[in-house]
Amino acid sequence: MSQSPVRVGIVGLGRWAKVLTRAVQKSGEVKIVAAYSRSEEKRAAFEKEFGVPAAPDLKTLLADPEVKGVILTVPNEQHYPLAEEVAKAKKHVYTEKPIAQTLEDGLRIAALEKQHGITVTVGHSARLMAGIRLIKQSIDKGELGRIAFLEANFSNERALELTPQTWRWYKDRAPGGPLSQLAIHQFDVLHLLGGEIREVSSMASKLSPVGAEVDDQSMTLLRFADGKVGYVGSCWTSPGVFCVRVFGQKGLMHYEIDFGTWDTPHLLHTASTLYIQRGKDGYGKREEIRIPESDMFRAELEMFAASCRTGKPGELNAHNGNVAVAVVYAALKSVERSGQYVKLSEVMEEAAGRVGASARHAA
C-alpha cells in the first residue's frame, strides 16, 4: 500500500517558489497544501496559478495540523528568523541555499533540530544532478583510482543586470557576489565528491561596469583533509555555465550542463555532457556516458518529505549546508588576507564562539 504524500506549506512566493512548486506537482511523495507571502497580491496570484490555498498570515499556516513541514523561499536574511518560527511550531524546515545569511545564523538553524525535535533540509540541489551522482558512483567504485584533483565552475551574467534596487548589489546581502551566490553550489558538490575540506585560499575582483558593491569574479583553491586539491571559479559577467571535472590516477570525468535548463532540471539530460577518459587513452578515446533523466528539485523536496516522515535528517542536512557557508566565509577572509590559506576549523570555531557569546548575553 503506497503512502499518502507528506503535506507541507511554502513561505515566500516569488520566482523560486514557483520553480519548486512545479517540481512538487510531479511528485507523489510531497504535496504543498498551504502558502504564505506578506504580499496579498502574491498570495492571490499563487493560489490562482497553482490552486494552493493561501493563508492570510504565517500564524494560520503554522497552526494547520495537516502541515508537517515548511519550505522557505525567502531572502537569505530571513532564513533563520522564519526557520525558528517554523521549528517552534514543531514543523520540519526546508530552506533554500545558503542555509542562512551568515554562518552564525546557519549554526543557530542547525541547533533548532535538538531544541525543537525537528529536522532541517537545505536546498543544495546541484549535488543531486544525475551527472554528479554518476561521478560519485564512479569514485566510490574506484573506477577513477585515487582522486587527486577536482575543478569546477559556475558562472553567469548576473552582475551585468544589477541595480541598487536589487539585493545582490550589496556586500552585506550577497557577500562576495558570485562567491556566495554561485560558487557555494560547487563548494557543496566538491565536498560531496572530495570529502572533508580543510583550508581555503581565494582571490576576487570587480570588473562589472555597473558599479555594484560586490566583487563579481572569484577563484578559490581548496585543500582537502586527505591531501587532494581543488579549484572553484565563478564569473558574474559571462554567459552561464556549470561544469565539474574530477581527476583520478586511473581516469578523469567531466560533466557540463546547459545552464539555460537550470530552472527545468527534467530537461538537463537532453543538453548536458558527461564523459570518462581512462588510463593513458587520449581525448579522442574518451567515452560518452548517457545521462538519465532526473529532477534535482523534485529529488531534494522528496528528501525533505522523507525527513518529515521519519524525523531523521537526510543528506541535505544542516551540517553540509554550514560547511558550504563556512567555505564562503573562509574564502572571503582569504581575500582580505591577500590569498592566505584560511582553515575551515578557524571559521567554524569563531562563528560558534560568537553564537555562544550572543546566547549568554541574551540570557
- pLDDT in the model for residue 266: 86
* pTM to 2 decimal places: 0.94
- pLDDT in the model for residue 283: 66
- pLDDT in the model for residue 332: 96
pLDDT in tens, 293-324: 999 999 999 999 999 999 999 999 999 999 99
For the segment(s) 126-294, the CATH number from 1.10.3720.10, 3.30.230.10, 1.10.260.40, 3.30.360.10 is 3.30.360.10
SS3 148: strand
- pLDDT in the model for residue 284: 66
Nearest to 168 by CA among 73, 101, 225, 93: 101
* Whether pLDDT at 264 is above 90: no
* Whether pLDDT at 48 is above 90: yes
* Whether pLDDT at 328 is above 70: yes
Q: What is the chain's mean pLDDT, rounded?
A: 94
* Whether pLDDT at 153 is above 70: yes
pLDDT in tens, 197-209: 999 999 999 999 9
* Whether pLDDT at 73 is above 50: yes
- pLDDT in the model for residue 263: 81
Do 176 and 214 contact (CB within 8 A), yes or no?
A: yes
Alpha helices in 283-317 (DSSP H): 296-310
- pLDDT in the model for residue 141: 97
Beta bridge partners of 257: 242
* Whether pLDDT at 162 is above 60: yes
Q: What does the pLDDT average to over 138-149?
A: 97
- pLDDT in the model for residue 188: 98
Between CA 194 and CA 199, with CA 197 as vertex, the angle to 5 degrees is 140
* Whether pLDDT at 363 is above 80: no
| Overall fold of domain 6-125+298-317 | Rossmann fold (3.40.50)
How far is 188 from 184, CA to CA, in rounded Å?
Answer: 6
SS3 169: helix
Query: Do the strands 287-288 and 273-278 form a parallel or antiparallel pair, or are they unpaired?
Result: antiparallel
Contacts of 1 (CB under 8 A, 6+ apart): none
Between 262 and 163, whose confidence is greater?
Answer: 163
Q: Given pLDDT bands bounded at 50, 70 and 90, which one contains residue 65?
A: very high
- pLDDT in the model for residue 1: 42
Alpha helices in the chain (DSSP H): 15-24, 40-50, 58-63, 79-88, 103-116, 130-140, 178, 184-194, 296-310, 318-336, 344-362
How is the chain split into domains, by residue range?
6-125+298-317, 126-294
Alpha helices in 71-211 (DSSP H): 79-88, 103-116, 130-140, 178, 184-194
For residues 70, 71, 77, 78, the Cα torsion angle rounded to the nearest 10 degrees is -40
- Using CB atoms within 10 Å of the CB of residue 114, give its burial: 0 to 12 exposed, 13 to 18 middle, 19+ buried: exposed
Task: Report percent pLDDT > 70 for the chain.
Answer: 98
pLDDT in tens, 77-132: 999 999 999 999 999 999 999 999 899 999 999 999 999 999 999 999 999 999 99
* Whether pLDDT at 269 is above 80: yes
* Whether pLDDT at 2 is above 70: no
Angstrom CA distances, 54 to 61, 95, 316, 347, stand at 8, 19, 27, 40
SS3 318: helix
Rounded (10°) angle between helices 184-194 and 130-140 = 30
- Using CB atoms within 10 Å of the CB of residue 145, give its burial: 0 to 12 exposed, 13 to 18 middle, 19+ buried: middle
- pLDDT in the model for residue 280: 75
